[in-house]
Each structure stands twice: as C-alpha cells, then as structure tokens.
Amino acid sequence: MSDQPTTSELARAIQDVTERAQLIVRDEIELAKAEVTVKATKLAKGAAIGAAAGIFALFGLIYFLHAASWFAWKLLPVEGDDVWLGFLVVAVLLFLLGGVAGLVASKLLKKGAPPTPKMAIEEAQLIRQTVSGGPTPPRVDKRENS
C-alpha cells in the first residue's frame, strides 16, 4: 500500500474544505446580520428616547418662559393687571437672542459657502501636471483656519 492519497480521496478532501469554507462564510454573514440588527435596534431605541427628551425639554422651556413672563410682570413698576407687559419683555428678549443667533449663523454660513474642496482640486491639478510631464509648481500649504 502506498502512503500517497488517491485522486478520489484528494477530491473528497478538497470538497470537504470547500463545504466548510462555505459554512464559515455563511456563519460570518449570519453573525454580521445579527450584530447589525442589535446595533440598529439600540440606535432606534436611543433615537426614540432622545426625541422624547427633546419634547419634554421643549415643553419645559415653554413653562419656564411663561414663568419668566409672570416674574417680569411682577418686577415692573406698573399698577393694575397689565400682565401682557411681562410677556412683552420676555418676547423682546427672545427676539434679541434670536437676532444675535441669526447674525452669528449668517457669518458662519458665509465662511463655509460654497463648500468646494479647494485642497482636493489643487491636488488633482498637481497630479495632472505631474502625469502630463508639465512643470510642477511648488507646493504651498493653503489650509484655511476654521
């Protein structure tokens, strides 16, 4: 008897290895699906709880502003039931804060617009010049401070 495996034994061994490799790949795919499902479920739960927290915070803000309006009315040196003055004071403060926030947002948006990838465009131009055999200009680091 020879110690060398026959062709049929070799073919069977290759078939076994192939089947086991396919099984491993299928198991890895199932594991990946299970992991993604668990993570997606956790993300969905977190998003739902975050949305609920945002709603509670919004309603809390409304009540806080209402209380601030009544407090402002109490601090004003007016006689009678001119409660609307307290609400007017709070509304004016909110409009001022909104205006300041709008100006800051406008400045930030102007700094970011238009969102063109300047560094990537310059790098592509350098690559094109290098490939075409043209003179390569000296590299200048033009990173913008953000």
Q: How confident is the model at residue 146 (pLDDT cuts 50, 70, 90)?
A: very low
Q: Length of the chain in residues, anyone?
A: 146
Query: Would you say residue 144 lies in a domain?
Result: no
Dist. CA 56–CA 8, nearest whole Å:
72
Q: Which amino acid is at 92?
A: V
CA angle 39, 43, 49 (to 5 degrees): 145
pLDDT reported for residue 4: 73
pTM for the model: 0.54
Under the phi-then-psi rule, with left for phi > 0, alpha for psi from -120 to 50, and beta for the rest, what region is 84?
A: alpha
Query: Would you say residue 85 lies in a domain?
Result: yes
* 53 and 114 housed in the same domain: no
* 87 and 58 housed in the same domain: no
Domain residues for 48? Answer: 1-75
Query: Would you say residue 113 lies in a domain?
Result: yes
State both tokens at 111: 């700094």
Q: What is the pLDDT of residues 44-69, one digit of tens each?
A: 999 999 999 999 999 999 999 999 99
Domain boundary among 51, 75, 99: 75
Our count of domains for the chain comes to 2
Q: What is the pLDDT of residues 69-85, one digit of tens each?
A: 999 999 998 888 888 99
* 35 and 92 housed in the same domain: no
Dist. CA 129–CA 48, nearest whole Å:
52
Q: Which amino acid is at 126?
A: L
